[in-house]
Structure 1
Amino acid sequence: MIILAATPIGNLGDASRRLVELLEQATIVAAEDTRTTQRLYAALGIQNRPRLISFHDHNEKQRAPELVELAQTQDVVVLSDAGMPTVSDPGYGLVAAASAAGVEVTAVPGPSAVLTALAVSGLPTDRFAFEGFVARKQGERARAFAALAAESRTLVFFEAPTRVAQTLADMATAFGAERRASVSRELTKLYEETARGTLEDLAQWAADGVRGELVIVVAGAEATETSPDQALAQVRTLVDGGVRLKEATREVAAATGLSSRDLYQAALGAR
């Protein structure tokens, strides 16, 4: 079978007994980074030396058939560098291929940066959506945020420390400066920190620089209609990101229920 195994996201003490036993017995391990996996074995004091197969975003398509074939007769353990494979990490294609081939897939659950950040955010956890890494290009980022502006579920994002201040500022523009949010950094590590406040407050907090691995959690939109002024601000954000005005007004209109024609005329008048 294929065994997806969650590894610590920071604190080695989060490695479960089940994970340690699995790694002690494994004969084949497909690892996102074999060097990281070797360090994990050493840190956990595991003497077993399985066959390590490199398995990452750039070779998943090529490696998946080989791993599925191996899993026909023996267990294949899949590890990402931290957290659960397939969750913003390699593995989705492999699971799909294994399922199609009738190979059993199971998981050894464990640490998750998404769920940990959500749990400590102080924001609603009953309904949420994980959006993965924020787009790097301004236009793509603006388009994504505009599409999510009316989303009522709590939103979870990954972001790099070098871009977090700009991302929070862009979120404040798209979602509203007063939208509640949190930023967690270095989860489960020595310098773990979670900052909470409005998007405007957090953008200012991050302006001087933030270090470490980051997770942003943003409250969902309240069940109120988007005002024309708010919709117009979303249009401006998209246009500033390189989206054509007509396309921007169509996207915002679709997300808010407002008239695309009225938005277009208002945007022209505001120029």
Structure 2
Amino acid sequence: MITAAGDDENIHKKAFDLGVSDFLSKPVNALVFEARVENLLSNYQNKILLESKAKLLESEVEKATKDLIKREHETLKILGKTAEYKDPETASHVARVSHYSKLLAKEYGLSEKEQDLIFHAAPFHDLGKVGIEDKILLKPGRLDEDEFEIMKTHALIGYEILKDSKSDYLKAGATIALHHHEKFDGSGYPKGSKADDIHIYGRIVAIADVFDALTSHRPYKKAWDFEKALEFLQEESSKHFDPDLVDLFVKNIEEVSKIYNSFIEA
């Protein structure tokens, strides 16, 4: 701003408030004018340079963060396969349970972050089975009472394996491992928790896990059709399962069917 106002502070203040960067008083000295302009240009260029570097840094940080998340997801998939080597359940079962769980989480109103957590953590629901001896885990027939008591310990084993992790995904996996065999009426295990005392992740995965087990073929049983499996969920509503989640699952059966058909077992 070129002004004849001299050192009038009020004018200077108003000018600065309006965005003026510098002042020249009349009469203008050519050398001072040139120096001031060069300084302003230099400051502007430095500002543009800093903004460009900031954007570049932000882009690099975003890229690095995406790479870290991608690697963590890959690690989760590898760890999720651990139980599969001892458990007769298939990779298709694990994939469907993850997708069913994410669908229920979305319909229940959980945030996108929690939907992502439960999707990647659901495969760890039976991780504790790695601690169950093969003669029980792989027994083709019905377990006797003592064997079943041993089998039930897999919920706590999975929790103990995962609980101290710093990863949000693995901590969610610990929660799911501990809660997915609890029942809404308090008759489940390992703690006999009931209703809202059962973590929502556990209530969700319980439905996804049981429904997929019922509708999947196993060497010891034929797959149930959807109608029969849904009837079972509804019969067990408020007993084994959260009634609100059962209603949401039934309501979204078309989406459930799409997920099922996307992971047909060979």
**Same fold, TM exceeding 0.5?**
no
Flag the structure with higher strand content: 1
Higher RCO (C-alpha under 8 Å, 6+ residues apart): 1
Q: TM-score, normalised by structure 2?
A: 0.28
**Larger gyration radius, structure 1 or structure 2:** 2
Q: TM-score, normalised by structure 1?
A: 0.28
Flag the structure with higher helix content: 2
